[in-house]
Structure 1
Amino acid sequence: MWLKLGVLGVAFLAATACGVDDPADTREMGREQVTAALNDAVRLGFPGAQAVVADKGHNWTVAAGAGDLVTGEPFADDARVRIGSNTKTFVATVMLQLVAEGKVELDAPVERYLPGVVHGPGIDGNRITIRNLLQHTSGLPEYAAEFGAVPKPGQIGFMTEQVRWQTADMAAILRNALTAPADFEPGARWEYSNTNYAVAGMVIEEITGDSVGAEITHRIIEPLGLRDTYYPAPDEIDIRGPHPVGYTEIGGQRVDYTSQNVSAAGAAGAMVATGADLNRFFTALLDGKLIAPAQLAEMKSVRSIAENSAVAYGLGLMRIAMPCGTEVWGHTGGIPGSLTNVGVVPATGRAVTIALNQDFTDKERSPAGMNALSAAVCPAP
């Protein structure tokens, strides 16, 4: 099960760093609250947790628990983690760059770019737009259901032993998924579906003639110098560089799920990054360094995901109203062995990534990442 909105945090919205030379420096304000929140996550059952914070050019890291339960080693400061549905923000950014280049129209039907691909019971590619895909308003059924697990909010719930080691044929997966009926009429409501981004990835590949991973690499990763971020090769199963062990539960038992083929996650959730790189990416995006103002405005044009929800969803980008009243922009993500929550505070520029090395999804434990994000973006003296 990847983690959908990566919105694991959506439904429930809910040390080891450098010191501060100046006692009056507020760039590490909230360290105690963040540390407490990460320790709470460990008490709830997460093996380990990490917060990476960027504030006014200063980066600091806090870790709790274990990155490896066998050795007891904590998260490395530069730990790589599987970022799940935070991948979607990279994909949406590439799509909006293509819009700016005149190669894609947001309100054009997907049929224009993928003739004959998006069709099924109540599904018509002539009526589903690129905007619908990026904002989860298409009504397309969840393709993770093809693997016997329907994700809860915040999950990409496909990853079973059935596909853990297999290189996916995404075209075949989508053909099977689209034999299920549409969930609703395009635009009628908001409902998270990883299928939207699987299709969006195919659109990018059809337009550019290159893989979605290659487009993300040369359009985003390389220009920003994200040295510890990558889109895995189709047959790649291990994480490059330092990383925590990723755990999941199978049959009620905690198991090491670090190594896995994530090609079935694809454009919906395959990428790997560090917290520092995620902070840099989201900050650059919101600062207008990756897409033009018109496209950034489209990306930030949000739709509430549910009545009275603190979360609204744009085009691959979430706006979250934190309990303290602070507004953050980011995304959340998860995949077996990893949960990540990313948020940038426009008012201050503080950027935060929270990483947890197990994919709990129950109501008691799943808010832990969002609680830690809240502690970091709502710092108290």
Structure 2
Amino acid sequence: MEPVMRFRPTAVFAAIAAALSSIFLAPPARATTDAELQAIVVQRLHGDRTGACFAAAVIDGETTSRAYVCADGGDPSRRVDATTAFEIGSVSKPMMAALLAGLIREGKASLDDPLSSWLPDSTKVPTFEGKPILLRHIVTHTSGLPAIPADVNYDPQNPYAKLTEADLLDALSRMTLTRAPGEKQEYSNFAAMLLSYGIARRAGVDFETLLRDRVFAPLGMDGTYIAQRPKGIKIAVGHTPDGKPTSPWDFPTDFAGVGGVRATLDDMVRYVRGQFGGAPAPLDTDFARTHLPIETPSKAPMAMQWMRATLNGREFLAHEGGTGGFSSFVAFDPKKKFGVVILSDTALHGMGGLGSLGLHLLDPRVPLGKPALPEVDTGPAPTLSADDAKAYVGEYALMPDFALTVRAEGATLTAQATGQGAFPLTPKAQDTFAFADAGIVIRFRRDAAGKVVSLSLEQGGHTMQGERK
């Protein structure tokens, strides 16, 4: 599977909610040395069959521990080291928010600006009963816009590379809002791309130059970039969960605030430490503004592109990211000057992401979690006829704007998630199928009349339910 870059806030908040169910009187010690962090990451990856490599850091005041570990136990330096840049996906969004905060500080922007004022005059921007989309709705994912633009021809291997300004604005002009902006949180890369484009347009400078001049350079993030790779920096090769190399994801520069940044572990440490109040002025003020809660009717616990999450009585700001071959996790407590960064050269968001490890590093009372592979019957596989296969064909809604489509070619079934590549389904038992390369098990359910009505998709210890449309 090649997941479309989409951080799902519900997944992280669900993990945090689970963590809150176990409160201890005294927290265990955190990883404070490289060796201690290495041991934790090795434990997390023990038995993992993805082959993923992790670059992890724990920042505690002026102390930082780092670890580079691969699931196969081999020397990680053959794939990742301190000079390796990872695609950080949606962790780019809070960086974009810092640019917006800077424009607000300069009096050139407001969270209550309508999106329409940041786009060309001829752009048709949807409203709901006269209520416009405001910038506060975009940075809290309550704009009402879908996850990705509709009717755009994506290449699953590199979905955003050929997207143009005309594509983006034309797709926006065809949108109809079904509810008032601010009413409900629904993650939208579409809205984030519009904001990224609008920021570059308002500033009169391309987005990469803006980030480099206003964020990267002041923090000394010399190995971080969008398209212009610095000398001496290597590009990590991304992988699918079954270990296959993937193509890099490229973004039109002015849309890259949605997820186009590439960064080394050390640079992400600098970025997180900058959130603690020590960034050079005026970036320190801009970062602080991005941490402030933003109120919307949805009541979503959001700051400017940061998810606000309470874990065992402490509030953290967090974001996860992923592209077709990479995963990332950043979370921190600016008051305690404590944070965690995890980067991986493998797309793990379909297998639970990096959240379990990240939360454990934030607070050792949270269970570390361990790799989980679905179990299926080991007896003789059932024989599937063409008529049998037809019974499963259909579209199964796993979440808003994300569905699994099952198709049949003769007696062979394939499944394909929204924006991803198709994969074969091998029968394992009655109404049970697997895609072993990615550790996926799909179990179909029938009603009293014997008709297939829903499915469950199990992967990496997580289960998603989908009703047949």
Do the structures match in fold with TM over 0.5? yes
TM bin (shorter chain): 0.7 to 0.9
Once the two structures are superposed, what CA deviation does each residue of 1:279-331 show, in whole Å capped at 9, x if it has no partner?
32233134173546598346421469999xxx832111122223x44432232
C-alpha distance in 1 between matches for 2:130 and 2:198: 12
Among 248, 264, 268, the alignment partner of 1:274 is 264
2:359 aligned partner: 374
Where structure 2 has 5 or more consecutive residues not aligned to the other structure, the ranges are 17-28, 366-469
Once the two structures are superposed, what CA deviation does each residue of 1:94-115 show, in whole Å capped at 9, x if it has no partner?
0110011011121121222323
1:107 aligns with 2:117: no
After superposition, residues 298-377 of structure 1 pair within 5 angstroms as: 299-302=291-294, 312-322=301-311, 324-362=312-350, 365-367=351-353, 369-377=354-362
After superposition, residues 121-200 of structure 1 pair within 5 angstroms as: 127-143=132-148, 145-146=150-151, 160-161=156-157, 163=159, 166-200=161-195
Judged with a 3 Å threshold, the aligned counterparts in structure 2 of structure 1 residues 146 and 351 are, in CA distance, closer, same or farther, namely: farther
Judged with a 3 Å threshold, the aligned counterparts in structure 2 of structure 1 residues 41 and 176 are, in CA distance, closer, same or farther, namely: farther
1:117 aligned partner: 123
Q: TM-score, normalised by structure 1?
A: 0.77
1:209 aligned partner: 204
What's the RMSD between the two structures over aligned residues? 3.7
Once the two structures are superposed, what CA deviation does each residue of 1:206-245 show, in whole Å capped at 9, x if it has no partner?
2111111111111111111111111225xx8x99723442
Identity between Structure 1 and Structure 2 (%): 19
Structure showing greater radius of gyration is: 2
Once the two structures are superposed, what CA deviation does each residue of 1:132-168 show, in whole Å capped at 9, x if it has no partner?
11111111122255457xxxxxxxxx6603747x443
8 Å Cα contact 1:82/1:273 also seen in 2: yes
Judged with a 3 Å threshold, the aligned counterparts in structure 2 of structure 1 residues 104 and 12 are, in CA distance, closer, same or farther, namely: same
> How many aligned positions are there?
346
Judged with a 3 Å threshold, the aligned counterparts in structure 2 of structure 1 residues 57 and 285 are, in CA distance, closer, same or farther, namely: closer
Where structure 1 has 5 or more consecutive residues not aligned to the other structure, the ranges are 15-24, 149-157
2:275 aligned partner: 285
C-alpha distance in 2 between matches for 1:80 and 1:171: 31
Q: Secondary structure at the match of 2:96?
A: helix
1:21 aligned partner: none
Judged with a 3 Å threshold, the aligned counterparts in structure 2 of structure 1 residues 243 and 59 are, in CA distance, closer, same or farther, namely: farther
C-alpha distance in 2 between matches for 1:177 and 1:43: 45
8 Å Cα contact 1:55/1:349 also seen in 2: yes
8 Å Cα contact 2:7/2:187 also seen in 1: yes
Q: Secondary structure at the match of 1:49?
A: strand
Judged with a 3 Å threshold, the aligned counterparts in structure 2 of structure 1 residues 34 and 302 are, in CA distance, closer, same or farther, namely: farther
8 Å Cα contact 2:322/2:347 also seen in 1: yes
Q: CA deviation at 1:123?
A: 6.1
Judged with a 3 Å threshold, the aligned counterparts in structure 2 of structure 1 residues 108 and 173 are, in CA distance, closer, same or farther, namely: closer
More strand by share: 2
Once the two structures are superposed, what CA deviation does each residue of 1:324-344 show, in whole Å capped at 9, x if it has no partner?
444322321111111100112
C-alpha distance in 1 between matches for 2:165 and 2:129: 19
Q: Secondary structure at the match of 1:184?
A: coil
Once the two structures are superposed, what CA deviation does each residue of 1:11-30 show, in whole Å capped at 9, x if it has no partner?
6535xxxxxxxxxx987169
C-alpha distance in 2 between matches for 1:183 and 1:239: 48
Partner amino acid for 2:125?
A: H
